[in-house]
Structure formats: structure tokens, C-alpha cells
Amino acid sequence: MSTDSLAEPLNHVSTRRLGSLRLRLTLAVPLLTAAIVAVFEWSLGNYESPAEGLARTAWLVLLLSAAQLILIEALLLRPLRRLAAGCEAMESAPVPLTPEAAVPTPGLAAELDRIGHAMLRARGSLWQQDQAARELRRELAQQRHLLQEAHSALEANQRELASLARIDALTGIANQRAFDEALRREFKRAQRLRGLLALAVLDLDQFKQFNLTHGTAVGDMALQRVASLLNERFKRDTDVVARLGGEEFVALLPGFGMAEAQGVLESLRDELRALRLPDGQGSLTLSVGLAAASPAHPYLSAQALLQAADEALYIAKHAGRDRLSLAA
């Protein structure tokens, strides 16, 4: 059977299919348009009578259907017809009998080459984009890791700064801010549990003169020795020793009454007298004001307890120094 005899049925099939498609579109488009226009027009309710509405709807359906069919013919059916004609032409072409006859025409070969080159360029572009995306993901992962490290370092610095904000830089013990927080906390706990709380304010006697005699460097080392002595003497987990500033220190002793705290502080004064100073010369003495809160002797506030200890220290200073005075 020849190729021409095969192409003829194919031509008829393609023509019948296009004709069938055109017929279905010609029937379906007006029906669908009529339904849409009817629903839209009747929803607006612009007509006084059904006859007027039907006439107006019919005209709209006719115009819209004609416009749609023209567009479908121009945009869909004509390209399909050309495509079918091209396929029919390719199908009706004679079958090559020799390898030389199988070589495509120069125009088709050039078109195939262009398509092949375009596909290669597209594949190369996709590969480059994939590599760029992978590189970007690696950079993002590195940046995320660096950001996490910076965040961890920042948190560590913040913790260190918070710790430094509560520690006296010279002596390494708590500063006044940390002491104020501990005093409020322990005072509330003693009130809630009806417990004991002793507070001692300690001041080195004539320390300004000591600095003038021995120098500020020796004076700083003496303050460090005193702070170390306080840490050694008051080393319970609940004890708090702090430097309020200059040569003034404070000791907060939860669970101690007046008698227990007085005994410990007298021993501390004796140890301070025996303390070996940095240059081996001179000596230091300590004046102490002591107040203690208890259920039998309560204070209205933590500030009132601190004020009572300050007043006792004032009495010890004016009574000749180097002594311990008890709050009334």
C-alpha cells in the first residue's frame, strides 16, 4: 500500500475531528453564554416584563456568542488546522528507502539544531542555577552558624556583665546592688518564717590616714585582705558579705540572733588586729554596728534594719572606735 493511500484516511480523520470540534463549540458557546447572561440579567431585575428581558438576553447572547466564536476560530481552530496540516504533510511524506534519503531537509535540520542548542543552553543554565543555589545554601548555613556563635557569645557577655554589675571590682565580693537585693529577699523570708536575721555594718578605723601613710596601693591590698577575711569567716550559703564603698563593709547573717552574731563579729575583730598587712607595717582596727531582727524584736522594713545597724556603727565610732555597738 502506498503512502498516498495511507495519508488520505488520515486527512479525512483530522478534518472530521476539527469539524466535530467546531460543531460542539458552536453549540456549547451560545448555550453557556445564554445561561450566564440570563442569570446575570435576572439577578439585576432591570426589566419590567419577561418578554423584554428575553429579547434583551437573546441579543446579548447572540453578540457575545458571535464574538467568542470568532476569537475561538482565530486563536484555537486556525492554529489547530495548521498544526493538523503540518502533521498530515509529515505523515504523507514518502518513506525513505536508503540511509541517504533519511537525512532531513536543510531547513528542518537547522531548526532541529537550533532546538538542540537551545535545550543545551537551558540545561546549562539550570545547572548553573542549581550550583548557585547550593552555594547560597552553604553560605546561609555558615551565616546561621556564625550568627548562633555570636548570639552565644553575646549571652555569655551579658551574663558576665550582669555578674560584674553585682560584684565589687576591687575586692571580688558582692557590691551594694547585690547586697540591697539580698537584704530585701532575706528580710521578707525572715518575716514570712518568723525567723532571725542579723545585719552588721563594718568600717575600718582611720583608713584615710592609713592610705596617706602607706599609699593607696597598700590600702587597696588591705581592703582585699579584709574582704578575704570576711569570706572566710562568713561562708555559709546564706551568708552575704559585701563592700558598700570605700572602707565600709556589711555582713548579712540569716538565722543569727544578736548573741550569735555578736560572738562571731568579736572574733572577726580579733582576727583583723592580727592580720598581716601588705608592707608588714601598721595595723587596722574595725568598728562594727550590729542590729538583729527577730519575732520578739521586729523591724518594719529592711531599710529600718539597715538604719539601726548604721546608727549602732555611728555610736561605736564616737565611743572611741575599735569596738562593736549593738542597736537598741
Task: Report yes or no: 239 and 252 within 8 Å, Cβ to Cβ.
Answer: yes
Cα–Cα distance, 226 to 202 (Å, whole number): 11
Tell me the β-bridge partners of 290: 200, 326
Tell me the β-bridge partners of 158: none
Of 221, 253, 256, the closest CA to residue 234 belongs to 253
Of 190, 142, 213, the closest CA to residue 304 belongs to 190
- C-alpha cell of 293? 531582727
Instruction: Say which residues have a Cβ less than 8 Å from residue 131's Cβ, sequence separation at least 6.
Output: none
Write down the catalytic residue from 88, 247, 248, 311. 247
Cα–Cα distance, 281 to 193 (Å, whole number): 47
Tell me the β-bridge partners of 202: 249, 288
Could you confirm whether 271 is annotated as catalytic? no
Cα–Cα distance, 123 to 126 (Å, whole number): 5
Task: Report yes or no: 49 and 56 within 8 Å, Cβ to Cβ.
Answer: no
Q: Is the alpha carbon torsion for 75, 79, 81, 84 positive or negative? A: negative
- C-alpha cell of 151? 548570639
Task: Report yes or no: 285 and 272 within 8 Å, Cβ to Cβ.
Answer: yes
Residues with a catalytic annotation lie at 247
